Structure 1
């Protein structure tokens, strides 16, 4: 939905054309606050570019969402957008694309809801902000990570809630890449968990988190649970989210071949995934595809320094299992042919200095589909040796990047619940037809800390840093081993500095990468 001013609008013209808009949306309050629709779970923004961004809100009842947008915190230059319906079929959520914004500008927005039947009956507004991407070579700063409310660790007010979000917010990042496992739909909470030190972890409880999610309403409830945290809501109001999904938005290690455990009454994995997808798209401010409704993979252009390629490694994969095929076919799909072709086109066409590939799963860490028996494949890695099965997609992609002169690719990922830095060295790889590159792993943002995974030598990864839980340990967020990554691109030099941090904001490891061309 367009705000209604020219594409290359200046801030001066924004202010001039917006004069008097506040009067357009002023509405008398006719009754008590409890009688007016309210913003129920804070506000969010996402998928921000140099001239646009998506904003999101949820009402506590059927209503119309009213959005004002301005370039000043006083909203003196505010413009009002046409109302958007927030209806029961979308769980009273609504989102709108703000277009034709000035580049490199702090944008302020406020959202309130008005009654459908009584258009002069409106609730209190909630305010958010974001920065549009720069049109010139300014500094860019962002954070990434994944894995929230997993392994039974929910919101514990006594521990300060989801503290990683408060720490990330203090860095004033331009955006967050949420690398997936945004919820644990298959994770059940207990009111209390006894920790090894004898203390109690006390979860904030809601009825829906006492069972696995199976209905669309239960999936939405898992997303809304995270929005009960003060740290998360404050973060969302100031930092845009670029979101992707992984397995726990549906169920652990899901693919089309998933056999659901006995705890599920719904036995059809495709039905379960469809309900989870609806909830995911309802609850996040991601741009919706007109080509393929429900698509998660997309490109976000963030100024001349950065393009972000958001992948979907769930929707198009073949069945989990051995995945040791020697030739590429449906059983070896991970990205799938269409998404792989899209990624190649985007990388080749990109004019940005850095091409960040946001992958919800690491390339060379072995993740077993059947962990107890250490067999089957859940991720790309198929074990040491030449490329097989799903690795054939990565081999093809890496050759393409080399042969087409694509420079400055960096992979950012999560999933394994620890922090790591991997340098991919073709001299040490089974497949050597690629240029060296880096992969950085971060997370969990708020979940159980994982153990360090085995490494697959196919693409020559070297572990330059790793911090994880001791093997066999059960660590809660209160143990402090919660990790996020912070990336800063210098506007003048184009250098990218990547820092891995914990929830106490300690800088654990850092490196600065020089671009090959600028």
Structure 2
């Protein structure tokens, strides 16, 4: 697509760790100045200055992530209490240069619906008794009881268009606002990094003010090597807000284009003069390795792993994480009348239809890294190509729309209820309702698509709607000019709250500070809402 650190405990919903944010801050990286980020000293014991994070949490399992500053053995201790009076120890991998000193440890057999307190120890490989200062965190496992409800937040697009970590405005402040909601997890809808977006020390704003970025060597150019892709992921972890949030809120992460380069597709040869490596497949391989090293994702832990997956979060919710990059066809005018590959690939489409049919959750959130009915162009080569699904022709499905039509038809004829689409990508927030009576293709049940973002990137005007699936834009907040800086606002996230009693799902679109802009409540099991 186009383009104040946490200091107090978050409010509790069930059993919540008090004081862990202060502990996280105490173990954080040294405060970065307005220029280059500090280097980590290698004297003493192993250190986990990049924080900890958890991912792909279920009712009885979770993945814990850490990065060391040198070779170290990862050890995780868990407890039911923050005092760690009784602990269980989990031995993780040896962290070395082959994984950029990152590692993930799987925790299994956890109690459902409970707060898990954990701490990560890094042990000297030659002397296991020598360990660094533990880094603490906590998370809630998914509940197996419907009455507990589910709350999560989502957004995407971090450090885009040259807008990086600005200490003068408090860094990535949006993570503080999301953390205050005490969500069960965070769904990142892609563009976790901008590997194609260098960060300079300062940017002059239209009114003459100066935006100042933290900078690093790896962020000074487009990423072309494994080391440079890894450096893009490390860059965001320099932000104290993000590290504190990671220590408290599990993630479900997907990728989009900027983890590699803008609007990429398999087999593409770049015409961008900034790149000496023109083969996108080479760049994507390096990016995929760095992505798998810096996020705890279960399906990427083995060779041949994949980004798309379904995350079961108890009886109320299944999250279907899509990958609209790895299997797509080339960007084109997208007006072909037959398109078996589409944007998902035939294999992923078959998987999605199968898993949706199997799901017994009340709500099925389809986490899409690109919107369905918004026209997202790709003009990088000067031609009017299409980057997402909708191609601007409001008539019968063409190109990638054919695959989406097949999916929507499947959902209707299999009587699959409770589907809601969430995405980011376009750098504004909106709500679209899709209705067959307004559509050129009518063989589907009505559904909602909610858009929210960016987390910290340039904001852009609204995209045009394509009438093929009958979208109506019910809510929109977007700037009228392109690449508005985070200093001007227009940074957004969304919240989903599923009530354990009624089963109602409420979506709230929020501004960077948490202010609610729009809310919509959907009823469980109801068709045509």
Whether TM exceeds 0.5 here: the answer is: yes
Cα–Cα, structure 1 residues 290 and 276, in superposed 2: closer, same or farther, change >3 Å? closer
> Equivalent residue of 1:120, what SS?
strand
1:384-399 → structure 2 map (5 Å cutoff)? 384-399=394-409
User: What RMSD in Å do the two structures reach over aligned CA positions?
Assistant: 1.6
> Equivalent residue of 1:314, what SS?
coil
Report the CA distance between 1:516 and its aligned residue: 1.6
- Deviation track 1:374-398 (CA, whole Å, cap 9, x = no partner) reads 7101001122211011111100000
1:44 corresponding residue in structure 2 = 53
1:86 corresponding residue in structure 2 = 95
> Equivalent residue of 1:84, what SS?
strand
Q: Is the Cα–Cα contact under 8 Å of residues 214 and 264 in structure 1 kept in the other structure?
A: yes
Q: Normalised by the size of structure 1, how large is the TM-score?
A: 0.91
Question: CA separation in 1, counterparts of 2:167 and 2:210?
Answer: 12
Question: CA separation in 1, counterparts of 2:313 and 2:515?
Answer: 27
> Equivalent residue of 2:467, what SS?
coil
1:209 and 2:219 aligned: yes
Question: CA separation in 2, counterparts of 1:89 and 1:389?
Answer: 41
Report the CA distance between 1:118 and its aligned residue: 2.0
1:500 and 2:509 aligned: yes
2:287 to 272, 276, 279: 276
Compare 146-155 and 337-346 and name the one that shifted more.
337-346
Report the CA distance between 1:92 and its aligned residue: 0.3
Cα–Cα, structure 1 residues 177 and 190, in superposed 2: closer, same or farther, change >3 Å? same
1:418 and 2:428 aligned: yes
Compare 35-44 and 362-371 and name the one that shifted more.
362-371
1:104 corresponding residue in structure 2 = 113
- Deviation track 1:471-514 (CA, whole Å, cap 9, x = no partner) reads x3441111111000001000000000100001121100101111
Gaps of at least 5 residues in structure 1 are 1-31
Report the CA distance between 1:373 and its aligned residue: 5.1
Q: Is the Cα–Cα contact under 8 Å of residues 277 and 294 in structure 1 kept in the other structure?
A: no
Instruction: Number of aligned residue pairs: give it.
Output: 484
> Equivalent residue of 1:458, what SS?
helix
Report the CA distance between 1:56 and its aligned residue: 0.2
- Deviation track 1:173-200 (CA, whole Å, cap 9, x = no partner) reads 0000000000000001111111122211
1:15 corresponding residue in structure 2 = none
1:403-414 → structure 2 map (5 Å cutoff)? 403-414=413-424
1:305 corresponding residue in structure 2 = 316
Question: CA separation in 2, counterparts of 1:314 and 1:390?
Answer: 13
Question: CA separation in 1, counterparts of 2:134 and 2:302?
Answer: 34
1:356 corresponding residue in structure 2 = 365
Report the CA distance between 1:130 and its aligned residue: 0.6
Cα–Cα, structure 1 residues 290 and 158, in superposed 2: closer, same or farther, change >3 Å? closer
Report the CA distance between 1:157 and its aligned residue: 0.2
Q: Is the Cα–Cα contact under 8 Å of residues 158 and 202 in structure 1 kept in the other structure?
A: yes
Spell out structure 1 runs of 4+ moving beyond 3 A. Answer: 289-292, 371-374
> Equivalent residue of 2:43, what SS?
helix
Q: Is the Cα–Cα contact under 8 Å of residues 448 and 474 in structure 1 kept in the other structure?
A: yes
Report the CA distance between 1:291 and its aligned residue: 8.1
- Deviation track 1:410-448 (CA, whole Å, cap 9, x = no partner) reads 000000000000000110001000000000000001100
> Equivalent residue of 2:299, what SS?
coil
Report the CA distance between 1:289 and its aligned residue: 5.1
1:346 and 2:355 aligned: yes
> Equivalent residue of 2:176, what SS?
helix
2:298 to 287, 292, 301: 287
Q: Is the Cα–Cα contact under 8 Å of residues 256 and 318 in structure 1 kept in the other structure?
A: yes
Q: Normalised by the size of structure 2, how large is the TM-score?
A: 0.89
Cα–Cα, structure 1 residues 473 and 210, in superposed 2: closer, same or farther, change >3 Å? same
Report the CA distance between 1:329 and its aligned residue: 3.1
> Equivalent residue of 2:74, what SS?
strand
Cα–Cα, structure 1 residues 343 and 329, in superposed 2: closer, same or farther, change >3 Å? closer
1:513 and 2:522 aligned: yes
Q: Is the Cα–Cα contact under 8 Å of residues 368 and 374 in structure 1 kept in the other structure?
A: no
Report the CA distance between 1:76 and its aligned residue: 1.5
Cα–Cα, structure 1 residues 116 and 221, in superposed 2: closer, same or farther, change >3 Å? same
Q: Is the Cα–Cα contact under 8 Å of residues 494 and 510 in structure 2 kept in the other structure?
A: yes
Question: CA separation in 1, counterparts of 2:320 and 2:166?
Answer: 34
Report the CA distance between 1:265 and its aligned residue: 1.2
Report the CA distance between 1:145 and its aligned residue: 0.4
1:20 corresponding residue in structure 2 = none
1:469 corresponding residue in structure 2 = 479
- Deviation track 1:431-472 (CA, whole Å, cap 9, x = no partner) reads 0000000000000011001110011100000000011111x3
